[in-house]
Amino acid sequence: MRRFLAVLPLALLVACSPSTPPPDQKPPQPKATAQSTPDNAELGSPQWYEWVDDRLHITDDGHGPDRGSAEWNEAVQRKLGQEAPQTQPGSPQWQQAVDSLLRTRPAIE
């Protein structure tokens, strides 16, 4: 009986200790990678509009409003919902606010 009581804490310790993952397993990567974020894209450039469009899924395989148009800007506002900038859609201030917001939140899937 004494031996059983001495082994019980050891068995509990072994059962509750975390196991190490296999060495070939890699940690998951975040969805927003440096490749998907245009670090040097000028606000309002075609590259920047494409990045915003990809993040928010405004157009669907070429169907939808033209990037940068008033209709496209309103679609961005709708996708952002309550987080949408309160400045005039399409203005440089609006573009800066959209850019900052999209860089700090996960992409919509």
The continuous run of DSSP H or E covering 52 comes out as helix 46-56
Tokens 């899937």 -> residue: 109
The predicted model gives 10-35 an average pLDDT of 65
Verdict on whether the full-model pTM lies above 0.85: no
- pLDDT mean across residues, the chain: 82
**Is residue 94 within 8 Å of 73, Cβ to Cβ?**
yes
The string of DSSP letters for 27-46 reads: PPPPSS-TTTS-TTPPTTSH
Write down the pLDDT at residue 31.
Answer: 55
The predicted model gives 74-78 an average pLDDT of 94
From CA 45, how far away is CA 51, in angstroms rounded? 10
- pLDDT over 80 at 17, yes or no: no
The predicted model gives 70-92 an average pLDDT of 94
